[in-house]
Chain A
């Protein structure tokens, strides 16, 4: 495998040019590279933490053999992770004769910019959307813009522009599309299947050639920082200025990107991004699809992985509670050795997970709820979209003959780890599924959780909202016609 000589340069296409970099620092961000080294200053920095979208660029890459373009946050994307991709910045949109791109024309004509600082980012997000959905709905536009903040316009003009883009020329005539074959050829030519390694000793970055190569490397160098989507690790660098080298970039490993289903269990590779997982999960376990749409913004979902969300071990990560409620398990691998544990047991304490040095997360296995069970996830946050959870509850219940046969409830944001509500479950199990039982179970929450107060919510609110989510879940299982949640739908 890693017999071939490692390559000591990162190669990618930047707009129309091929770049080959030998001097990439392990923690160099794409945004700094664009602005400081390439003097491409159309891409802006608004926050350096993936939350504002001013730095949005598109990254083209192969997914299942097809070239796709996705919006990403250049501020928390590392240059080392770009090998074999096509980076498209706002400078690439205008045609050579100076004509504006349809997205740009619509933004101009509909007064979509005021101060203009957020604008390049919006243009790129809308461009990414247009490539997927040339005639988007309001909901699709809002989703594509969850990761873009604008403080001036109030968004109305931007959404009007987004709807009008298709009037400015057919998506099938798009300039990027015209150069598509050439780009595919150039990207294909760059792929040599070897490991990339830049720097030496501790101050080094590695892009492994394969999962086996990665496994070996991490086993040999267990202190290396694994970087998948960098939506957590990026902030360690930009905000905490932590030294993360040596770094291993695994986002390009195709073998970690598979999603498959066998015997009612969906297996998601650790490298699968939220965006990649969406279609399957939305179809097989719909509440997970709905949840994904409220994780970060589009750019974060295009980079961030479920594997990273789990590995990171945060008590406010959104996927662990529902996966625990579903009874998911986790495959960990070290060198050639694999072990599979229940996801619930992975989280030991705050900042402590059941992962040995040199071990990495390979896949998570998620049982699809059986027919006749009810499954729901409710995320509560200060702002509806692109916000971190105050409290999140996931509920799985099977009721037979009016009696609770099986119940699994897990919460995020309520303890030092994602955690089962064991006492609440005990109060429900074997009882008739009715309001009185629910009422009695509400009294058990205090045994399971003693939440904290922080900037997102007070302990009292967390406790109360968490209890009320069970009330909501009960109402949902009764099939009530009356609304049980506020909704964005018109």
Chain B
């Protein structure tokens, strides 16, 4: 693209913060010119890898016969565990429980055992099928139902949060009840699957183009597996075709194998698993089984709560520790518990190791909170909305969380008030009652649910970021930061920040691929932190250069520093204005450094896991959704009739992008709780490993009426980048409104007297079976 001549008369730059910039790659997306890793030109002689996966859920490998694989057409090499030159481990948390390739024992159906390297991808895939592996099958655990946190194997130490004496509060409460709710896992279904291409260099170095949210970790893991220092490994990623948490740690395996093969064979190696293999061999959202016991009064005030959050973690720890921790951090959602005890149970299972997924345990945590609210509502015969309001956190009191952080920025009351009005909750509640009375086969349901989501990595050290800003002598800017672009528009937002700082049009700022060679030791682009962290780091970089420019100009033109003001595409120095590019040129000749490494670390946060106390979150993001559904009581089929959302992103950096995040996250959250079902057969084999069997929402699953509003009055009370708030994950949990509306519709068959105990995903089948249970019990 030819950059236009920046206007030095403009009153505002093009593309500053708080403007609706398009995604920087939008033109390239629609023309097919955006380059994903599989679209890059392959170096001459590039080879292709395919993973050989286990066919049993748990077993000792008694015989591995790969002879036919090795002699298959096109096969160049077959890697097994013994070909890993360094350590055969890619456990991201250092627990040493996740081999690159299985050795001796396989622990889940689909675990990688070997890797075929062939001339073509097709040949590699075909050769894989020829392996003959004999197993001595061992007992396996797939389901976590019935597992006990005290007795059964955990993949990582669990966490307990306590405030007050929950058992005592429940015992003393006028009313009590106990229950259990189950929610399923979720496949990320990023449209671009996992992929890595490793290119060997000199000195034994290797560069890997990897679709990853966490280049620095891939770098460390590959170094570890190769047995070389990190400086010998460079990771680069321009863009992913979706990540959603599925590319936080799950790219490590493919990158490590591609790198091992590339180094061994001295040729570029690409591994792009088929969708079936991707869905079989990579981790997903954790399924949870939540036990709860609550004490409450006749008015519906919650007095005490005890939770156990059991999670299906799979065969290794991966990120299950922090995921199950975050589930506990959200067992309150937006509600104050006078006394609470919450225990996590990260269970070992013979399934793929579950991993990060948008919300990172938070959504599952909130499922527990919203379930107990519903239970209390049914028990007291009140509208769940009333129970929600009653138990919300206060603003000045009743505002301490189960982890002893004080909620200082609570705006859920205002969000609820406005949404209840705009969605006409009361009016529609009446209409629905009338409709249901006259409709035998179709029942409607309505629900409104809140979201309060904690922002920051709970591992405090992750809350840091770096950026690299270069200003070239023509005044154009090269921007690089540690965050990765997966569709969320992070690069656009960070470029807006830099444009704003320098007061130059956004097309003067070039966004470049993320690489470990430019910004080191980065954190994953995760936890919704991308813009918060990298935006601040880039701002710091820009400000350093600006400070030097101001010093230079003040001295050269002999004015006070405050007489140097950055205006759109120009700088006012005393009484004169010169174009930005002009100043840069002069600064260059005066030997001013025009490059800076920016850095940021989130203030105020700390967390003592052993005590279960601290301030893990810098701030909270809030929102609420109101959903109406119709349900067919003969088949359990349903339709989402209308959804209204009010969500806040502080002072939004870019409302257009934020709106896209909210809409997309909502639909993804709805999918998790409705049609997206993972199903294992009796032999522990996952049978939903492709879009033909695993059903994410389609355009025709959207709410028929979908009103999404940003709470534009909101402003972050903390000092975040231009007072904005994170948006990646919080709106995912707005999808809960649909789940609760389904519960409401089902409940109507027993006149809202019995709680339907609807589990998630609420497939038509689960909905119908819940209806049948209520019909039988009424």
**Interface on A for B, CB 8 Å cutoff?**
32, 35, 41-49, 51-52, 54, 89-91, 93-94, 100, 103-104, 107-109, 111-120, 123, 141-143, 145-146, 148-159, 239, 241, 378, 380, 382-388, 390, 454-458, 460-461, 464-465, 468-469, 471-472, 475, 482-488, 490
Residues of A within 8 A of B188 (CB): 151
B699 A155 Cβ-Cβ under 8 A: yes
B702 A155 Cβ-Cβ under 8 A: yes
Q: A146-B700, A465-B634, A486-B631 are in contact. Are A116 and B22 (CB under 8 A)?
A: no
Least CB distance, A85 to chain B, in whole angstroms: 20
- Smallest CB gap from B662: residue in A: A154
Residues of A within 8 A of B22 (CB): 108-109, 111
B488 contacts partner chain A, Cβ-Cβ < 8 Å? yes
B58 contacts partner chain A, Cβ-Cβ < 8 Å? no
A-B contact pairs, 27 of them (CB 8 A): A90-B30, A100-B30, A115-B191, A116-B23, A120-B31, A123-B30, A141-B699, A142-B698, A143-B700, A151-B190, A151-B664, A154-B666, A154-B702, A155-B698, A156-B708, A157-B660, A239-B274, A383-B695, A384-B637, A385-B701, A455-B677, A460-B769, A469-B635, A475-B441, A484-B441, A486-B637, A487-B639
A151 B244 Cβ-Cβ under 8 A: yes
CA distance A46 to B461 in the complex (A): 36
In the complex, identify which listed stretch (B199-207, B684-692, B716-724) lies at the interface while the others stay far away: B684-692
A120 B32 Cβ-Cβ under 8 A: yes
Residues of A within 8 A of B251 (CB): none
CA distance A484 to B769 in the complex (A): 19
CA distance A485 to B487 in the complex (A): 37
Residues of B within 8 A of A384 (CB): 637, 639, 698, 700-701
Residues of B within 8 A of A143 (CB): 700
A150 B442 Cβ-Cβ under 8 A: no
Q: A46-B192, A154-B663, A154-B702 are in contact. Are A382 and B692 (CB under 8 A)?
A: no
Residues of B within 8 A of A46 (CB): 191-193, 275, 691
Residues of B within 8 A of A455 (CB): 677, 679, 681, 687-688, 693
B431 contacts partner chain A, Cβ-Cβ < 8 Å? no
- B35-50 contacts to A, CB under 8 A, are 35-36, 38-39
B630 contacts partner chain A, Cβ-Cβ < 8 Å? yes
Residues of B within 8 A of A100 (CB): 27, 30-31
B276 contacts partner chain A, Cβ-Cβ < 8 Å? yes
CA distance A239 to B279 in the complex (A): 13
Interface centre among A118, A119, A123, A154 (most CB of B within 10 A): A154
B55 contacts partner chain A, Cβ-Cβ < 8 Å? no
CA distance A35 to B32 in the complex (A): 12
Q: A159-B699, A465-B635, A468-B635 are in contact. Are A111 and B26 (CB under 8 A)?
A: yes
Binary contact readout B1-40 vs A (1 if CB under 8 angstroms, 0 otherwise): 0000000000000000000001101111111111110110
Partner of A119, one of B29, B438, B696, B704: B29
Partner of A90, one of B32, B632, B679: B32
In the complex, identify which listed stretch (B372-380, B399-407, B545-553, B760-768) lies at the interface while the others stay far away: B760-768
Interface centre among A145, A152, A158 (most CB of B within 10 A): A152
Interface centre among B27, B28, B35 (most CB of A within 10 A): B27
Partner of A149, one of B33, B639, B666, B691: B691
B636 contacts partner chain A, Cβ-Cβ < 8 Å? yes
- Further contacts, 20 of them, CB under 8 A, given A108-B30, A152-B664: A41-B35, A41-B38, A90-B30, A107-B26, A111-B26, A116-B487, A117-B241, A117-B242, A145-B700, A149-B696, A151-B696, A152-B487, A153-B664, A154-B697, A155-B667, A384-B698, A385-B700, A388-B693, A455-B693, A460-B769
- Smallest CB gap from A454: residue in B: B687
Residues of A within 8 A of B701 (CB): 383-385
CA distance A387 to B695 in the complex (A): 8
Residues of B within 8 A of A48 (CB): 274-275
A482 B30 Cβ-Cβ under 8 A: no
- Smallest CB gap from A490: residue in B: B704
Partner of B698, one of A116, A123, A378, A385: A385
B439 A93 Cβ-Cβ under 8 A: no
Residues of A within 8 A of B441 (CB): 472, 475, 482-485
- Smallest CB gap from A485: residue in B: B632
Residues of A within 8 A of B29 (CB): 107, 113, 116, 119-120
B487 A114 Cβ-Cβ under 8 A: yes
CA distance A45 to B679 in the complex (A): 25
B327 contacts partner chain A, Cβ-Cβ < 8 Å? no
Residues of B within 8 A of A42 (CB): 31-33
Least CB distance, B492 to chain A, in whole angstroms: 11
A146 B698 Cβ-Cβ under 8 A: yes
B665 contacts partner chain A, Cβ-Cβ < 8 Å? yes
B630 A486 Cβ-Cβ under 8 A: yes
Residues of A within 8 A of B631 (CB): 486
Partner of B23, one of A113, A148, A458, A490: A113
Partner of A461, one of B36, B243, B705, B765: B765
Residues of A within 8 A of B487 (CB): 113-117, 152
A382 B668 Cβ-Cβ under 8 A: no
Which 9 A-B pairs rank lowest in CB-CB distance, beginning with the nearest? A42-B32, A115-B487, A117-B241, A116-B29, A154-B667, A114-B487, A51-B691, A468-B634, A383-B695
Partner of B704, one of A93, A456, A461, A488: A488
CA distance A42 to B36 in the complex (A): 10
Residues of A within 8 A of B664 (CB): 114, 151-154
CA distance A148 to B698 in the complex (A): 8
- Smallest CB gap from A483: residue in B: B442
Least CB distance, A307 to chain B, in whole angstroms: 21
Interface centre among B30, B276, B631, B763 (most CB of A within 10 A): B30
B114 contacts partner chain A, Cβ-Cβ < 8 Å? no
CA distance A454 to B191 in the complex (A): 26
Q: A114-B487, A119-B30 are in contact. Are A151 and B635 (CB under 8 A)?
A: no
Q: A46-B275, A151-B696, A468-B635 are in contact. Are A116 and B668 (CB under 8 A)?
A: no
Binary contact readout B422-441 vs A (1 if CB under 8 angstroms, 0 otherwise): 00000000000000001111
- B174-193 contacts to A, CB under 8 A, are 188-193
A49 B637 Cβ-Cβ under 8 A: no
Partner of A47, one of B31, B239, B275: B275
Residues of B within 8 A of A54 (CB): 191
Q: A46-B191, A154-B668 are in contact. Are A482 and B698 (CB under 8 A)?
A: no
B125 contacts partner chain A, Cβ-Cβ < 8 Å? yes
CA distance A485 to B439 in the complex (A): 11
B240 contacts partner chain A, Cβ-Cβ < 8 Å? yes
CA distance A116 to B126 in the complex (A): 30
Residues of A within 8 A of B472 (CB): none
- Smallest CB gap from A457: residue in B: B765
CA distance A414 to B765 in the complex (A): 15
CA distance A40 to B439 in the complex (A): 54
Residues of B within 8 A of A159 (CB): 699, 702
CA distance A380 to B122 in the complex (A): 36
CA distance A303 to B339 in the complex (A): 61
B657 contacts partner chain A, Cβ-Cβ < 8 Å? yes
- Smallest CB gap from A467: residue in B: B634
Partner of B691, one of A47, A89, A158: A47
Partner of B438, one of A155, A383, A482: A482
Residues of A within 8 A of B36 (CB): 44, 117
Interface centre among A35, A115, A483 (most CB of B within 10 A): A115
- B275-316 contacts to A, CB under 8 A, are 275-276
Least CB distance, B695 to chain A, in whole angstroms: 4
CA distance A386 to B39 in the complex (A): 28
B30 A47 Cβ-Cβ under 8 A: no
B409 contacts partner chain A, Cβ-Cβ < 8 Å? no
Partner of B242, one of A49, A93, A115, A464: A115
Least CB distance, B688 to chain A, in whole angstroms: 5
Partner of B440, one of A148, A157, A482: A482
B699 A52 Cβ-Cβ under 8 A: no
- Smallest CB gap from A156: residue in B: B663
A118 B699 Cβ-Cβ under 8 A: no
